[in-house]
Structure 1
Amino acid sequence: MPSSQRNDARKFYDPDQNPQERRGVLGEFRRLTTTFNTSRDTYLQSGNTGILQTIRKADELYVNVKQTSDATIDSRLLANAADLSHKKAAQLTLGDVNAGIDVDEFVSKCIGYMRHGPDLSDAASRATQRDPNDSDDPDEGDAMNWEWLGRAACLQCNTRPVVSSWLLGPLSVQKRTRQLTQRRENERFDATQVIRPQELRQEDLAQQQDVSLSETCNTIFKLLVKTIFDNIDEVTGILSEEDSEEKKHEVMDKYNICDDGGVPLYKFCINPDSFGQSVENLFYVSFLVRDGAVGVSTDSRGIPTLHKADERPPHETQAMGIEKYQNIFSLDFESWRELIDAFGIEKAMIPHREERSEDTGTTWYAGG
């Protein structure tokens, strides 16, 4: 690029502007902005040229502005000056906007308008025909035509076009259709179809819950015992002593039997189709363990297993030094999914329980 063109370009934009010159220009702009902001009330006075002087000073300083960030300061000052000029122009046209309307001047103008209005002679003649003895009339001596002022004021503010009276109203009206109610004949009362409410007591609810819990626990216990004996017979008929440990575990996993003779806890309790019933199955098994009907152990691989416990009277258990241990087992949804994938559970060993609906209403005949 020729030097002449380079100098012309740097006339308006120069990223390598002398730092000292730039600081001087920015300082002048800051002082000018401060003076403008502190003198706003003075510049609004009539005859004051402070706004014009501020714009001229900003134009002089803008010649030495060579970077865009510095130009924003000038544009902000110019915008503030334009707003103040608009406010000053409004004051010159309407007067001081903070003072409001001069009430005395407004009243005097209205009085002059009403006195010089038409039909003033008719109003004066009506005033002379009044009773001369009526000295308490507040309108006595009032020659102002209020009707003329009212008509002029209303017509100037009414911009609605003249329309027929039947057009006055909302533009869109939705016609409401009347809904006809169908009266039904009085239905005959059939005393044989009256349902007698069943009275439930707290004892009945507790007994019903205990019976349901006991039945479910007994069903699960019988299923566990049957599974252990049947699957052990199947595994014993297939395996032999010469088989490898890998094959033994493969066959036992197929028939849900562990090497300690128990059933895997997770395979027995987990229902792959219902997370809620999986939790319920663990709940029922815990009752069987508490009552001493089922025992929990681990096989050679550390997998928890379930066994049929030997029934012993309490004194014999105490004499043998058998102690009970209580553990808290938690099962969340993610663990439930992981157990299904880890053990390859495809079908629940404890059958899926369907929701039961009970009809407790009974009909009764009313005696007359």
Structure 2
Amino acid sequence: MSQQERHDDAESHEILNKYQALGAKVISIRDDDSEGVEIVQQVMDSKEELFARVDRMNEFKADVELTYATASKIVNIAEYERRGRSNIDVDGLYDKLKQMIASQSAVTTMKKLGKVASAQSKRPPVIDFMVGPISLTRRVIERRRPGERLTFDENQQQSTRQLQSDEVANQNLQDQQTVTIRQIYTVLRQQVENSGGPVHYYEFVINPHDFAQTNENMFFLSFLVRDGKVKLDVDDDDLPVLSIAEPAERDEGSQAKRRKVSQTVISMDYDSYLKLIDLYDIKDTIIPNRDYSDLAF
């Protein structure tokens, strides 16, 4: 088209309106529309006829935008056909995601979605995804100059001595507890042999002179019951009694059968402690008093 044949503004406005109408028609085509390809072809034919009248820059721009829109629509239709017409309902998927997030924490939901997405992706997991962000701090090593004396931090020496002292105290406490449990077992065995039968639980554990050691006796005795060395039963009056557990019976050529051990919880407050002393008329303790003054704390 020569310079003398350039159309006026009114005709240019008409051309732009037609390009806009064709673009709206392309956008309205659904990917699952069986006639979508034919409609796109009709738009392309109309575009070719309209392009013959184009001679202004804004009209060329409108033609390029329409070309891009039709090409994108063809790609979407082809992708839909490749998926076997299995269109995804985005609104339905969004509603299900909202229900999932409402039923559990958002963090848990996002972790599940991330695992599903990563399994479908060909992108290798990055370091942050595998082990979290790595933050390494280089240790600064101070080098002594030749001839410089090595000095020690007094606070560090005191901390080391305190740690060693605490370890010794803990070891002494554990050793003392082991000795106490063995002593209680020995005393109970003697009581059972002397009485010729079970020993009443409260008469055995209660120290009428020391409420704290009474609770300690109950605590230490629980280890013997747990290990199956002592049996805790009830007599005809439904009162707890203690006896020494017999060794597990053995079958010829087989290993020893494990005894089924069951436990119960017995608590005692100070009022119950005083009432039990009066009820059983306990004058002295069967388990000897313990002296903790030699322990190093």
TM-score by length of 1: 0.33
Structure whose CA Rg is larger: 1
User: TM-score, length-normalised on structure 2?
Assistant: 0.41
